[in-house]
Amino acid sequence: MALSPARKPAARHRASAAHEALAGPAPTGKPGREPYNHERWLIAKMMRVAGHPPVRFRLWNDDVVEPEGREARFTLWLMDPRALYALVANPNLAFRDLYISGQLVVEGDLAQLTETLCQSIRTARQRWPRWLGALWRTQSQRPGHVDGERASLDHHASPGSRFYELWLDQAAMQFTCAYYERPENSLEQAQLAKLEHICRKLRLKPGMSVVEAGCGWGGLSRYMARHYGARVYAYSRSREQTQYARAEARKQGLDHLITYVNDDYLNIHGHYDAFVSVGLLEQLGQNHYAQLSDLIKCCLNPRGLALLHSIGRNRPMAMNTWIEDRIFSGACPPSIGQFIEICEHNDFSVLDVENLRLHYAQTLGHWLERFDRHRETITAMYNEQVTRSWQLYLAGLIAGFRSGSLQLFQVVFSHSNNNDIPYSRQDLYVFPATPEGL
C-alpha cells in the first residue's frame, strides 16, 4: 500500500479568493477574448519567480507566451483567463485543481513537467522575498491531521481492486516500490524481485512465523508462504483487500499457511520470527511510531528480524512544494531520523538501511504508462476528473522521487542483544532475486 491522491482538496486547504472564484462550469474550449498586456506580464513574472522553467503558455485565444531565453519543453494550455488568475494567486493550490478540472491542459510528459517544476521552484524559492513565500504558501496543516490519515486507510481501497488490477503488476498486485535488479526489467519482474529481496533480508526459512502489518492484497504473504514455506499472519484494515487476499490464497492452495486478519495492526498479538510492514509507515502519523515500536518489541521473538519499508524524507519538513502538498494529502512520510527513532525507542539494533528512491521513480513510471493505456476504461468506470487526478498523482510522485524530495527506505533491525544476526549482506546477492522466464 502506498499513498493515494488527495481526495477533498477543498476541505483540506483554504484556497485563496482568486482560486475560489474558479469554481464555475467546466471550460467550453471556445476561443476567448484577446489577453490583456498585464496578463502576459503576469505570466512572465510568474515564470521568472519560478526560476524560468522551460514552459510555454498557450492562452485561451491560442496566443502563445514563450519562456524567456530558453527552448520550451512543455506547453501549459490555459483554457480560461480565470485559470491564469488562480495560478498566479497561488500555483501551489491551483495547479492540481485546474489540471483535474481540465482548465489547464499539459502538452508534454506530465512526470517530466512536474519534476522540472519541482526542481526549478526549489532552487528559485531560496531567492523569494518572505511575502511571496507567505502568499504562495501551501497552507496545509500537516502535523495536525494525523488521525485523518488513519481514517483514510479505509478510503484507500475505495476505488476497488478492479481499478488497481488495471495498472498494477499482474504478478503480485503490489502498490509499493518495486526492486529493479536491472533497469530494463518489467514491472512484474521487479515486484517479484522486491518480494524476494524482502524475504532474503528477513532470512526466512521454512516453518518460520511472520506477522505482516498492512498486507494490502496479500501479495507478500503469499510469496512468503509459497517460496519460503513461512506461516504468515497478515493484517489489513480494509475488508475488501482482506477478502481479495483470502480468495487468492485459497485459489493458490496457500490458505493453510496464511491467516488474513481484517483488523488494525495495533491488535497484533502473539510472537513471531519476523515482523514486516511494507507501505504502512508513511500513512501513520509520527505520534503512532512509539506504539508501533512497542508492538514490535512485544511480538518479535528474541532472534527475530524486523523490516520496515516506507516512503521517507531526508529531514523532517512540512510538505511545502506545490506538487507534494497538493498530491500527498493523505500521507506523512517520516524523515530517516524519525524512522530511526522507531528503533531507538526500544533499543533495537539497526542492521541495514537501503534507499530505493530511484526504483520507486521507475515503478511509478511503469504504473503511469499502464494507467495511460487504460485511461478510457478508467474514465468510463469513474470520470475524467478521477483519471486526471490519478495521472497527476503518479506524475507528482515521480517528480518527488526523481528530485530527491522523497526517499524509499527499507530498514532491517533486531533486538539489541540478538547475536544471531546475519554476518554480512553477501547472501542477499548470491542469486538473482528476479524470477526467470517472466
* Residues making contact with its own copies (CB under 8 A): 119, 179-181, 183, 314-316, 335-337, 340-341, 343-345, 347-355, 357-359, 402-405, 407, 409, 416-419, 421, 423-426, 428-430
**Residue closer to its own copies (CB basis): 346 or 379:** 346
Give me the least distance between CB of 412 and its own copies, in Å please. 9
Give me the least distance between CB of 269 and its own copies, in Å please. 24
Give me the least distance between CB of 145 and its own copies, in Å please. 24
b (16+ CB within 10 A) / e for 260-274: bbeeebeebeeebbb
Give me the least distance between CB of 355 and its own copies, in Å please. 5
CA distance 176 to 280: 10
Helix (H) or strand (E) holding 302: strand 300-312
**Residue closer to its own copies (CB basis): 110 or 433:** 433
Other CB atoms within 10 Å distance of the CB of residue 239: 11
Give me the least distance between CB of 169 and its own copies, in Å please. 19
**Residue closer to its own copies (CB basis): 229 or 316:** 316
Burial class (CB in 10 A: 0-12, 13-18, 19+), 436: exposed
**Residue closer to its own copies (CB basis): 233 or 409:** 409
**Residue closer to its own copies (CB basis): 4 or 363:** 363
SS (H, E, C) 20-47: HCCCCCCCCCCCCCCCCHHHHHHHHHHH
Instruction: Calculate the CA 59 to chain-centre distance.
Output: 32
CA distance 387 to 365: 16
CA distance 295 to 293: 5
Burial class (CB in 10 A: 0-12, 13-18, 19+), 259: middle
Residue whose C-alpha cell reads 524476494 in the numeric block: 196
**Residue closer to its own copies (CB basis): 99 or 180:** 180
**Residue closer to its own copies (CB basis): 72 or 350:** 350
**Residue closer to its own copies (CB basis): 245 or 306:** 306
Residues forming a β-bridge with 57: 65, 76
Give me the least distance between CB of 225 and its own copies, in Å please. 26
Classify residue 370 by its DSSP letter: H
Burial class (CB in 10 A: 0-12, 13-18, 19+), 211: buried
Burial class (CB in 10 A: 0-12, 13-18, 19+), 330: buried
CA distance 11 to 191: 35
**Residue closer to its own copies (CB basis): 37 or 424:** 424
With CA atoms as reference, report the closest residue to 431 among 171, 177, 181.
181
Provide the grid cell at 356: 530505493
Give me the least distance between CB of 400 and its own copies, in Å please. 12
**Residue closer to its own copies (CB basis): 61 or 123:** 123
Give me the least distance between CB of 311 and its own copies, in Å please. 13
**Residue closer to its own copies (CB basis): 36 or 429:** 429
DSSP per-residue codes, 161-225: HHHHHTTS-TTT---S----SSTT--HHHHHHHHHHHHHHHTT--TT-EEEEES-TTSHHHHHHH
Q: What are the Cα distances from residue 250, in Å, to 168, 220, 223, 260? A: 21, 15, 14, 11
